[in-house]
């Protein structure tokens, strides 16, 4: 805890941190977007919410181990002033399936897709099939 609050404090941002949960944040963003009001939110990509509404990534100071070491659960004592570290996703496959279906294993090992392509796919589904 304390990362967002520490970041807001240390970068002297005029924000209030509010925790809404997954669906609460989606509902709030949808409401603010319909009202054409500005907002800042923390999210990940690729994600349907970003495919629905054009967003601009807020640039923060780059992550570093030194910056990360300044994090403290108490925001008043936290020195955090950088973006969070990237989290890489990984693929897993059932061992029995990989043995039984070597062609599927080959496809699984070789298949990659970028965030940009995934976002384009989400937008395409939305525009071609009426919404996500």
Report pLDDT digits (tens) over 5-51: 999 999 999 988 888 998 998 899 999 999 999 888 888 888 888 88
pTM: 0.66
Burial class for 49, CB neighbours closer than 10 Å (0-12, 13-18, 19+): buried
Rg of the Cα trace of the chain? 19
DSSP string, 28-94: HHHHHHHTT--------SS-HHHHHS---PPP-PPP-HHHHTT--SSTTT----SPPPP--------
Task: Output the pLDDT for position 132.
Answer: 45
């Amino acid at each position: 805890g304390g990362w967002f609050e520490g970041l807001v404090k240390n970068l002297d941002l005029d924000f209030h941190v509010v925790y809404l949960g997954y669906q609460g944040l989606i509902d709030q963003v949808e409401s603010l977007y319909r009202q054409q009001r500005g907002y800042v939110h923390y999210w990940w990509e690729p994600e349907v919410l970003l495919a629905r509404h054009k967003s601009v990534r807020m640039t923060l100071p780059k992550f570093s181990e030194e910056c990360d070491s300044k994090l403290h659960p108490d925001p008043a004592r936290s020195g955090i002033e950088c973006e969070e570290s990237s989290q890489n996703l990984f693929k897993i496959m059932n061992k029995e399936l990989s043995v039984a279906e070597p062609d599927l294993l080959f496809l699984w090992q070789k298949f990659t897709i970028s965030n940009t392509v995934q976002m384009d796919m989400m937008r395409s589904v939305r525009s071609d099939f009426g919404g996500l």
